[in-house]
Amino acid sequence: MLSTVFRQVRRILLTALLGGLLGATLVRLGPGFSVDERELDSRLSQESRQAIRAERARDSNIAMFYVRYLAGLVHGDLGFSRSLNRPVSELLKERLPLTLGSLAYGVLGGVSIGLTLALVTACWRVPGSNIAPAFLAGACLALPAAVIALLFLWMNVPGRWAIALVVFPHVYRYAKNLLVATYQSPHVLAAQAKGLSSSRILFAHVFAPAAPQLAALAGISVSLAFGASIPIEVISDTPGVGQLAWKAALDRDLPLLVNITVLVALMTLVANSLADLALAAWRPEVSRETA
Amino acid sequence: MLKYSLDGVPLLTRGATLCRVHDSPARQQGDTSRVVIFATALLFALTLTAQSTNELRFCLRGDPKTFNPLLVEDENSETVLYLTGGVLVRLNRYTQELEGELATKWKVSENGRRIDFELRPNVLFSDGTPFTCEDVASTVRQLMDPAVHSPQADAFRSANGPTESKCTGPSSVMARFPAPVASLAARFDQVGIMSARSAHKESAVLGPFTVAEYKPGTYLLLRRNPNYWKHDSNGKPLPYLDSLRLDIQQNRESELLRFRRGELDIVNKLDPEMYDRLTAEMPHAVVDAGPSLDWEVVFFNQVAGAPLPEYKRRWFRSDEFRRAISDAINREDICRVVYRGHARPAAGPVSVSNRFWLNAALKAPAYSVNTAQARLQRDGFHRSGDALFDRDGHKVEFSMITNAGNKLHERTLALIQQDLAKLGIQLNIVVLDFPSLIERISRSFNYESVLMAFTNVDLDPSDQMNIWLSSGAQHQWNPNQKAPETQWEAEIDKLMQAQAAAPDSKQRKAYFDKVQEIVAEKAPMLFLVNPNALSAVSANLKNVTPALLRPQIYWNVERLAIGSKLVSQR
């Protein structure tokens, strides 16, 4: 178990770091990286303009940037955000709790709504019973996260609930298919024929075999929720990491973008690994089969 | 007296007395006094709470990057500096006249190199330290440190060399710059004086408000400076407001929604569409202060080494071609359709609102397809079918870039596209995000023409030196020229240098009038419109006198007051 955890941690750290650095490379190669909006200020002298360009050119060598970034990371220094004129660690420290809170609300809300509706559809097999949930899920899936955020803004509802609506249709569609398929499997039919109670069938014969996939779904929901949090935080003016990511991308703020990319990769990988570990602890035989 | 003046307290007093009806008279009297004291304290606390709602609320578009007045570069920091910083002189945004603030008198000498200030006595910083001449001298020295690269520092740097700044008396100070600085006194409108001695440095201010709380990404709370030196005509200390809450909010729709709900008192820089929507709902809340100093301009790439086909460079360098395009653009339509009537066709780099520097003889180019066609014919262009061709048979087609997400620009481009189609010119619209656009117009020069907005913060043309000098980096159509590539650019160079060095403002105006005439004749930039300054103001805000110059609504923030109705609601 300990070696599994160690391997997971090593894999997570390496993947997150690699993701962050590849992200940095993409930003570096994108248009407009080396320019600064301040250069358009007609009051600036030639010397000031050169000073701005020199400051900007510091990150233009991507290899040197990686070396500096990794050296700083060893000492706990995440770098300095040029666009917000503050250390990246301070910015993340201020904004991360808000985003984590929103993600917790969004993921829990989305998974709860999705699973509940999926269960209702799977258990209550009356023709037409899935029309309303399927329509709702389809509508939420069709609407971009930004539009959902705008609707919530007009209704004066906190943006975190918009995250739940983004997560819910994905959970619902996957969970419904999974539960319906499990309900139709031979062992469930046999259990029903033996006259087992509905709740026993549900927990012991439907949920248990579907658990690995449902756990993986919860892990994926975290990355889905984080992706949705970017437009939602921007539109609802929530000062979280999503809004920070948007600003960093617009301003080509390399140190900030690298750290946010690493953070997102970490969160996604940790969520997936936690799901795996929980499954391994609960049902080791299924975990081994999945592995 | 108590009964009469304090509603509610007598009842409470009576109730307390009734409960203790069996106590001795002395005890009863003591209890009554305690209850009265308690009630008075409660009422005082309630009064304080009511006062704390005497708060003006509006939005900043983002976090201020610095609270150091000498390093201010971004608009949000400029707003905070305006509200908290004490300056020696202030340009009255309404009358456009320079007025003394911390300086009671000033004198510019040595042909604009030296300025002497007589300082206001008995002024304290917000932390209680006295304001002295040493604070001014030290601020100027810090500002002119070569390591400080800020727009307000560069405004004083007309040449390299040391700057001298020292006290010349107990309440007088001088500053001498290495070369004459145009509008020297007016430049101090942007310089927030810092304390030389206070341990609090940036937080010790001389302006009407001080920074009390800052929650990054959320809000900035400014409280009234208890030591602010100004009083109104009745001797009442200013500012009238207790606090300002600046919510950090980028989303304009959300800002408008909050204004409608009464959560905000001011919305600055409304776009015309929002203005009209608000006019329909709250006609008394909207303010159109008239044409602003900002420009919407089009220019063509005339850079010698730009990656353009040679024949296109020839078009763009032709005066007749540029003027033909200018004549073919219907500016009135842009004002009417895009800006919904809230803009004025622009004649040149000076808005009609800039009363002193405007060359009134110049008029915005009249829309005329015939004039444009005649100019093109004179330049060797000919029409064949629906298309226009140059003398070598190249079809006239070019692209125009603009920044993404700007609806006004996108609509303006659509109108220009239609106008140019009447001449047989095919215009291709390209929308880029802002960093990509800046890279193209200032580094790679990989563009053909561009539509941009220029934000003008100063009345004086000295801030435009970098735009008009051929060696300037902001000489957008052909920047950083080693020597002027055309006669007229050489002429503009001479005139701009002359206006910057001339001590007399009338003489400066004569030079800049000539610059405006050359620009109108050669059309290196096609000035389209000056958009109006549009805002929204709560009906409960008192003493509002909207001005054209930034900050349009709260330029007189120390005299703004919240009406009693709104205070009670809050």
pLDDT tens digits along B306-317: 999 999 999 999
- In one-letter notation, the amino acid at residue B108 is V
Task: Return d(Cα B383, Cα B84) in angstroms, integer.
Answer: 61
Strands (E), B225-316: 243-248, 266-267, 286-291, 295-300
On average, the pLDDT of chain B sits at: 88
Quick one: tokens of A246? Answer: 């948007």
Q: What does residue B36 show for φ and ψ, rounded to 5 degrees?
A: -65, -45
Q: What residue in A sits closest to B219 (Cα-Cα)?
A: A239
| Closest approach of B184 to chain A, Cα-based (Å) | 14
| Closest approach of B330 to chain A, Cα-based (Å) | 28
Task: Return d(Cα A223, Cα A34) in angstroms, integer.
Answer: 30
- In one-letter notation, the amino acid at residue A51 is A
State residue B1's pLDDT score: 33
Beta pairing partners, B426: B397
Task: Return d(Cα A287, Cα A281) in angstroms, integer.
Answer: 9
Q: What residue in B sits closest to A90 (Cα-Cα)?
A: B216
| Closest approach of A32 to chain B, Cα-based (Å) | 4
Task: Return d(Cα B193, Cα B173) in angstroms, integer.
Answer: 13
Residues present in chain A in total:
291
Task: Return d(Cα A105, Cα A162) in angstroms, integer.
Answer: 10
State residue A283's pLDDT score: 64
Closest CA to B443 of B294, B557, B303: B303
**Which residues on chain B are in Cβ contact (under 8 Å) with A51?**
149
* pLDDT tens digits for range B538-570: 988 999 999 888 898 999 999 999 986 555 555
Decide if B50 contacts B565 (C-beta within 8 A). Answer: no
Residues present in chain B in total:
570
Task: Return d(Cα B297, Cα A232) in angstroms, integer.
Answer: 34
State residue A220's pLDDT score: 83
Decide if B417 contacts B336 (C-beta within 8 A). Answer: no
Question: Which of A27, A29, A34, A44 is best to mutate for the B interface (most B CBs within 10 A)?
Answer: A44
Count of other CB atoms within 10 angstroms of residue B445: 18
> Is the CB of A40 less than 8 angstroms away from the CB of B154?
no
| Closest approach of B191 to chain A, Cα-based (Å) | 14
* pLDDT tens digits for range A79-90: 999 888 899 999
Q: Does B66 touch chain A (CB under 8 A)?
A: yes
Inter-axis angle of helices A62-74 and A2-29, to 10 degrees? 140
> Is the CB of B216 less than 8 angstroms away from the CB of A32?
no
Closest CA to B303 of B443, B425, B430: B443
Instruction: Among A137-151, B217-231, B418-432, name the one with the lowest average pLDDT.
Output: A137-151
> Is the CB of B438 less than 8 angstroms away from the CB of A51?
no
Q: What does residue B206 show for φ and ψ, rounded to 5 degrees?
A: -115, 0
Quick one: tokens of B490? Answer: 């050489």
How does B220-243 read in b/e, with b if 16+ C-beta sit within 10 Å? Answer: bbbbbbebbbeeeeeeeebbbbbb
Can you tell me the ipTM of this complex?
A: 0.74
Q: How many CB pairs under 8 A join A and B?
A: 102
- In terms of C-beta distances under 8 Å and separation of at least 24 residues, what long-range contacts does B101-109 make, across chains too? B102/B131, B102/B136, B102/B193, B102/B206, B102/B229, B103/B188, B106/B185, B108/B184, B108/B185, B108/B503
Q: Does B42 touch chain A (CB under 8 A)?
A: no
Task: Return d(Cα A21, Cα A257) in angstroms, integer.
Answer: 10
* pLDDT tens digits for range A115-126: 999 888 887 777
Least CB–CB distance from B65: residue in A40, A84, A235: A84
User: What would the mean pLDDT of A142-168 be, rounded to a whole number?
Assistant: 88
Q: What residue in A sits closest to B468 (Cα-Cα)?
A: A42
Q: Does B434 touch chain A (CB under 8 A)?
A: yes
Decide if B275 contacts B288 (C-beta within 8 A). Answer: yes
State residue B47's pLDDT score: 46
**Which residues on chain B are in Cβ contact (under 8 Å) with A39?**
438, 442, 473
Quick one: tokens of A161? Answer: 């609930």
Task: Return d(Cα A122, Cα B43) in angstroms, integer.
Answer: 63
